[in-house]
Every structure is written in C-alpha cells, then in structure tokens.
Amino acid sequence: MDDYKKWLASNEAKRFVIDNVKKSGIPLELRARRVLKNNRFNVTSLRYLDIDSDTSDVDLDLGRGVWRELDLLATRTEETTANIGKCEIRFVTNILGECKYSSEKDVLVFEHLDPENADLSHFPLLVNGQHILSTPLRTNFSLPLLVERLIEVNANSASKEKGNFTDMAMHTASEQMLSALRYFLHRWRQIIRRHYMDAGKASLIREKWDNLLKEKKVPYEEFGSYSRVPDSFIRNFLKEDFESETMLQDFPFISIHTCFPLMITDESRGIIRAKLSDSYDVVDLEDVGLCIYTYVSENANRYAAVLDNAFVLPILICNLANLDSVIRLISQGMNNAIEQTRKRLIENPYLIPREILFSDKVN
C-alpha cells in the first residue's frame, strides 16, 4: 500500500493532519478570501522580497534577499470614478492582509491616549496620486477605535504558555507587513513611473518643463522637484503652455492606488478593549471587534519608502466576523475621497498634469 494511503486509512493520522492544517491558518485565510471576493475584490497571495533577512546580498531590483509570502493581496477598482473632461481617474483599493489564527488567544487592546493627535498620515497609504487627492485622506473615513498598545491573552487562568500577555505574534506580523509593503510599493511605483513617463512624453509636458528649467538655469538635480519650485511658477507654466481641454485629451486615464494593511483573527477570537480608570487601571473589558493599531516599529529607519518621515503605520485589525464592517469602512471612505477629488479637479484640472510631471521620478 502507498504511504499516503496508509495514513489516510488511519483516523488518528487524519485527525493529526486536520488539526494542524487548522492551526496553520489556511482555513481562516480561505474564509477571508471568500468575504473579500463577495465584495468584488480580486484576491491572491503576495510573494515579496524580504531584504531584512540574515543575508548581506539583498537588492529589491535584482531580486536578492529571501522570498516570503503574505496571506492576502485583495485588489478592487472602485466603481465610482472622478472623471474630468476626457480624462478618467480610476481608484484602485489594495488590501494587504495577514491572517493570524489562534485557538486560544484573544487580542486585548488599549485605546490611544491622545486620539485627536494620533499620527494617521498614512491611513491609507498612497502608492501615487499625492498631487490629485485632497489630503489628509483620513478625514474621509469614519475611524474605529484607535489603539496604541495591544497584547495577546489566553484567558485560561491555568495557562502558563510562553507569550501570554505579550504582543509577540502581532509584533512579528506587523514587521512582516512593513517588509511586504516596502516591496509592494516599490514595484507598483515603478509601474506607475513608467506610465507617467510615457504620458509625459506623449503630451510633451516633460520636454517643455525640462526646457523651461534649463532656460531659467534651475540646477539639474532639482528637475521635477515639486517642493522646491514655487507653486505660482508651476501654475503659470501649465496654463500658458497647455489648454485645459487639449491637455486632458493627452491623459485618457490615471489610476490612483491606495493601500490598507489589515490583520484578521479567527471569528471565535475577540478584539477586546481594556477600559481604563483615570489612573489607567483596567476596570472592565469590552468587545469591539475591530480597531486601528498605530504600530511603531523599532526599525522605522528601514522603511522610509513606506513611512516617509513618519514613524507610525496604521494597521486595521479585526476578527473575521467583522471583516465586512472593515470593507464597508474602506468603501465609504473611498467614495468620500473620490467625491472630494472630483470637486477638486473641476476647480483645478491642472492637478492632473501636475501629478504626471512631479510623480514620474517616484522610487
């Protein structure tokens, strides 16, 4: 008899395999995929290059490093657009998700002590579109509970397992998320840069801009540097050299990509808020189901491509039972952002060539 037929004939062996597959988190991942697909997302896994692995031979462009996998990359082109003239602005929502299965541990979260001043500058993360979108984007979203500290808890009073009442698993997953995001943003920005460069060449906007800067004797290293060129200078250049309607014909569409990091726990495990007294003692516990974790990495200097000059990565956390609620939160916020963008572009259609001109050098 073949080896696999031997263990398939053994109830004990089959139970061992079934139990360990469940612990691997694969069934949780498949259930999460079903929810996302039911909400019009295309779902795959994300293979990414981890350049923080124990090797000195690492390079994103040359494919050096260690290949790892994130459970979910869910992508959806929003049905609502922000068309202006003959230019279609498409919005693509990306969810990078990691499924964390535990048969015993719940997540105990501690509310942000100063939520009004919490750093949410990267909620959501922008792949591109910085010159078109009205910022800060977070104002378009109805935010859930903001959390700055969490621990994993096995409420079994007899449990003495290592890692109980710590954040070990979530910390590891958050670092993995940052590494995956760095790779994802790097690759997508390369694709968008090529698209913008092609659009800039076709419309002659890049050639005219470079010629103008040479004429004005602007140093070469400042070419395309939006922050160093006076806004009035840019505005006059665009209006003098490009008729609005003619200009928009040169850019038939632009896709703007946003990105939401997400961690999903098993539906039987809680996301539980610790209610605090004025002296910060825990006085009660409350089931909240979802939150935003303002994660600060001790390795933030490695992730400048993700965090820019900030230190905080906002991560959505929910149990599977609340995944639909998270998707609604994202959808409603994106619809608000798209409507604001439409109004902004009607008032100033020159934001479109500005995006092309100053984003084609993105790393």
DSSP 8-state secondary structure symbol assigned to residue 84:
B
Residues 331, 163 contacting (CB under 8 angstroms): no
At 363 the pLDDT is 41
pLDDT per position as a tens digit, 116-147 = 999 999 999 999 998 888 778 889 999 999 99
pLDDT tens digits along 161-202 = 666 788 888 999 999 999 999 999 999 998 988 888 887 777
CB neighbour class for 165 (10 Å; exposed up to 12, middle 13-18, buried from 19)? exposed
Cα–Cα distance, 333 to 323 (Å, whole number): 15
Identify whether the C-beta of residue 315 lies closer than 8 Å to the C-beta of residue 295: yes
Instruction: Give the residue with greater pLDDT, 313 vs 205.
Output: 313
Range of the domain at 100: 3-359
- Residue 152, judged by CB atoms within 10 A of its CB (0-12, 13-18, 19+), counts as buried
**Can you name the residues that pair with 135 across neighbouring β-strands?**
none
Q: Looking at the 3D structure of the chain, how many domains does it have?
A: 1
